[in-house]
C-alpha cells in the first residue's frame, strides 16, 4: 500500500534513535533516496506481499500481526517514534524475493519514513559492511539454534508422554488379553456342557425353560449392581449353603461368580423349579458358564472402552485432528494432560481438581495450552519429589479465566523468582531440564493468547497462575499485536 507523500526533513530524522549518529551527508542521502508518507487508519502492508520497503514510524500508532493457521495473532502494538518494520532482512544474500513476514497497520493517522528495500540493503552494505556480516551470521545461527532447541524440547516431551501413555494402555490391554483367553476356555466348556445336557434326560420343555433362564441370566449380568464387601460375603454364604443343601459340589467356588453377576437364591430357586434333582447340578454348572462368559465379555468391553478412551485422550491432548485456533473447554485440556502425565505424576502425589464447571469455553490454541499445562505439571511434580498434593483449580477472574497449578513442594526462592521465565534458566540437575519449559509457556500464554503467567510461592505452597481472556478479540484487535 502507499500513503500520501510529504516533505522529508533531515532534522526530524536526526531525532530518531536509528539515525541520531549519522552525519549530514548520510541524512541527506536518506531523504534523497527515501520518502515520508502519511497513512490513514488501515493496512500499510500485508503478510505474504513482496517486501518492497523498510518503514520507520515518525508519529502515530502501529500494530503488527502474524498469520497462524487461519487467524491473525498480535505481535506488537506501539506508538514509539523510531519503531521500524518491513523489509528488515533486505541486506541478506538472496533477499530479492523476500516477502513481508507479518502484517502492519495503523489505527490512527500516522507518518512513516520509507526506504525502498534495495536502497535499505545498499545503505546497510555501504555504511555497515562488518555489521551486515555479523547480523547475517546471527540471523541464520539463531534460526538454526531455535529450530534445534524446539525439536529437542518436543522430543523430551514426546518421550515422557509416550511412556505415560504406554503405561496407561498396558493395563487394560493385558486385562483384555487375559479375559479373552479365559473366555475361550469357558466357551469350550460351555460347548461340552451343552453336549452333556443334550444327551441327558431333559425334555423339550425343560430345555426351553433353561434357555429362557439363560437369556434372563445374561440380561441380569449386564444390570448387576456392585455390592459392598460385607453384602457380597453374606450373599456368597447364602448361595453356598443353598448349593450344599442340594448336593451340588464346590458351592463355595460357584457362589462368588453368581454373586458378581448379581444373582441370588431366588434365581437358583427358579432354576430348580425348571429341572428335577438329578439334572439340577448339570443345569447350574451350564448356567455358570453363561454367567462367566458374560462377565468376561463385560471385562473385555470395559478394557477396550478404556483403551478407546485413552486414545481419544491422546488425540485431545495432541489436537492432531483439530483446528489450531478454536473455542475450547479448558477442563477437557486439563483432564487429557493429567491422564497423559499420570505415570510421571505417580502414586505418591494426590491430584485434586477444583474446577468451576460454569466457566465458558474460551478462544485458544488448545494444542499449545496443553504444552503449557504439561510444563507446569512437570515442574510441580519435580518440586514435590514424588510426594505431595497437586491442586488444579479453575475460576473466573474478572474478564479472564484463571487456571492455577498448586503444589506442596519446596517452593521458588524469592532470589530467583524473577529469573524462572528466562530462557535456559533451570533449577533442575544437569541433564534433567532444558530451562525452556517456563519460557515457552510464558510465550504461549502472554504473546499468543494475550494472557498472563505468574507465580506465587512460599515453602509448601507454590501456585503458577495462568489467566486467559474469556472473549475473542474484536475484528480490529485481532490484527493488532500486543506490546
What does the domain layout of the chain look like in residue ranges? 4-127, 163-310, 325-478
Backbone angles phi, psi at 169, to 5 degrees: -75, -25
2 against 45, higher pLDDT: 45
pLDDT one-digit tens code per residue, 402-445: 999 999 998 876 665 565 665 544 555 433 444 456 777 888 88
Quote the pLDDT of residue 204. Answer: 75
Q: Give the architecture (CATH level 2) of 325-478.
A: 2-Layer Sandwich (3.30)
CA 210 to CA 275: how far, in whole Å? Answer: 8
Please, which residues have CB within 8 angstroms of residue 433's CB and are 6 or more apart in sequence? 382, 426, 427
pLDDT one-digit tens code per residue, 352-370: 999 999 999 998 888 888 8
Quote the pLDDT of residue 90. Answer: 75
- Residue 401 clears pLDDT 90, i.e. is over it: yes
Which DSSP string corresponds to 74-105? EEEEE--TT-EEESTTTTSTT-TT-B-SSEEE
| 482 three-state secondary structure | coil
Quote the pLDDT of residue 406. Answer: 94
Asked if the domains 4-127 and 325-478 are classified in one and the same CATH topology, the answer is no
Query: What number of residues does the chain have?
Result: 483
101 against 160, higher pLDDT: 101
Residue found under cell 466457566: 359
- The set of cell numbers assigned to 423 is 530462557
Contact status, residue 391 vs residue 431, Cβ threshold 8 Å? no
- Residue 213 clears pLDDT 80, i.e. is over it: no
pLDDT one-digit tens code per residue, 114-125: 999 888 888 888
pLDDT band at 29 (very low <50, low <70, confident <90, very high): very high
Q: Give the architecture (CATH level 2) of 4-127.
A: Sandwich (2.60)
Quote the pLDDT of residue 215. Answer: 80
pLDDT one-digit tens code per residue, 452-473: 888 888 888 999 999 999 875 4
| 395 three-state secondary structure | strand
Quote the pLDDT of residue 432. Answer: 45
Residue found under cell 485440556: 333
Check residue 105 and report its DSSP letter: E
Of the candidates 236, 316, 248, which has an alpha carbon nearest to the alpha carbon of residue 282? 248
As beta bridge partners, residue 4 has: 38
Contact status, residue 394 vs residue 330, Cβ threshold 8 Å? yes
- Residue 99 clears pLDDT 90, i.e. is over it: no
Contact status, residue 285 vs residue 253, Cβ threshold 8 Å? no
The overall average pLDDT reported for the chain is 78
CA 346 to CA 417: how far, in whole Å? Answer: 27
Quote the pLDDT of residue 122. Answer: 86
Report the relative pairing of strands 388-397 and 349-354 from DSSP bridges. Answer: parallel
Question: 149-178 burial string, b = 16+ CB within 10 Å, else e?
Answer: beeebeebbeebbeebbeebeeebbebbee
CA 165 to CA 173: how far, in whole Å? Answer: 12
CA 85 to CA 60: how far, in whole Å? Answer: 14
Question: 369-388 burial string, b = 16+ CB within 10 Å, else e?
Answer: bbbbbbbbbbbbbbbbeeeb
Contact status, residue 85 vs residue 64, Cβ threshold 8 Å? yes
Amino acid at each position: 500500500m502507499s500513503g500520501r507523500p510529504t516533505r522529508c526533513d533531515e532534522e526530524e530524522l536526526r531525532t530518531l534513535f536509528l539515525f541520531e549518529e549519522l552525519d549530514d551527508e548520510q541524512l541527506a542521502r536518506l531523504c534523497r533516496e527515501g520518502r515520508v508518507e502519511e497513512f490513514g487508519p488501515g493496512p500499510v502492508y500485508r503478510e505474504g506481499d513482496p517486501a518492497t520497503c523498510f518503514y520507520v514510524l515518525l508519529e502515530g500508532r502501529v500494530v503488527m500481526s502474524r498469520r497462524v493457521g487461519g487467524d491473525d495473532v498480535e505481535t506488537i502494538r506501539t506508538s514509539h517514534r523510531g519503531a521500524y518494520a518491513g523489509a528488515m532482512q533486505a541486506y541478506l544474500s538472496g533477499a530479492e524475493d523476500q516477502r513481508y513476514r507479518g502484517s502492519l497497520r495503523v489505527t490512527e493517522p500516522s507518518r512513516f519514513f520509507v526506504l525502498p528495500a534495495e536502497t535499505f540493503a545498499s545503505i546497510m552494505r555501504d555504511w555497515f559492511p562488518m555489521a551486515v556480516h555479523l547480523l547475517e551470521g546471527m540471523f541464520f545461527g539463531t534460526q538454526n539454534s531455535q529450530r534445534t532447541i524446539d525439536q529437542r524440547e518436543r522430543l523430551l516431551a514426546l518421550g515422557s508422554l509416550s511412556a505415560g501413555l504406554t503405561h496407561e494402555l498396558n493395563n487394560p490391554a493385558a486385562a483384555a488379553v487375559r479375559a479373552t483367553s479365559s473366555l475361550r476356555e469357558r466357551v469350550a466348556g460351555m460347548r461340552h456342557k451343552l453336549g452333556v445336557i443334550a444327551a441327558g434326560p431333559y425334555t423339550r420343555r425343560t430345555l426351553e425353560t433353561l434357555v429362557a433362564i439363560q437369556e434372563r441370566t445374561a440380561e441380569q449380568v449386564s444390570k448387576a449392581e456392585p455390592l459392598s464387601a460385607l453384602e457380597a460375603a453374606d450373599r456368597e454364604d447364602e448361595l453356598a449353603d443353598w448349593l450344599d443343601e442340594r448336593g451340588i459340589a464346590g458351592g463355595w467356588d460357584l457362589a462368588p461368580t453368581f454373586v458378581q453377576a448379581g444373582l441370588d437364591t431366588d434365581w437358583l430357586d427358579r432354576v430348580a423349579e425348571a429341572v428335577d434333582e438329578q439334572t439340577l447340578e448339570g443345569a447350574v454348572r451350564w448356567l455358570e458358564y453363561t454367567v462367566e462368559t458374560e462377565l468376561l465379555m463385560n471385562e473385555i468391553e470395559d478394557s477396550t472402552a478404556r483403551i478407546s478412551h485413552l486414545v481419544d485422550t491422546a488425540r485431545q491432548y495432541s489436537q492432531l485432528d483439530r483446528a489450531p485456533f478454536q473455542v475450547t473447554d479448558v477442563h477437557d485440556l486439563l483432564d487429557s494432560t493429567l491422564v497423559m502425565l499420570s505415570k510421571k505424576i505417580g502414586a505418591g502425589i494426590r491430584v485434586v481438581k477444583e474446577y468451576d464447571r460454569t466457566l465458558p469455553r474460551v478462544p485458544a490454541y488448545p494444542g499449545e495450552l496443553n504444552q503449557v499445562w504439561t510444563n507446569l505439571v512437570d515442574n510441580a511434580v519435580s518440586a514435590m519429589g514424588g510426594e505431595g498434593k497437586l491442586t488444579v483449580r479453575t475460576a473466573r477472574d474478572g474478564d479472564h479465566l484463571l487456571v492455577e497449578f498448586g503444589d506442596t513442594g519446596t517452593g521458588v526462592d524469592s532470589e530467583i523468582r524473577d529469573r524462572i521465565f528466562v530462557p535456559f534458566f533451570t533449577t533442575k540437575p544437569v541433564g534433567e531440564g532444558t530451562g525452556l519449559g517456563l519460557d515457552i509457556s510464558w510465550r504461549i500464554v502472554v504473546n499468543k493468547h494475550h494472557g498472563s503467567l505468574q507465580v506465587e510461592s512460599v515453602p509448601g505452597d507454590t501456585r503458577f497462575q495462568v489467566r486467559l481472556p474469556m472473549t475473542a478479540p474484536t475484528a480490529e484487535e485481532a490484527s493488532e499485536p500486543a506490546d
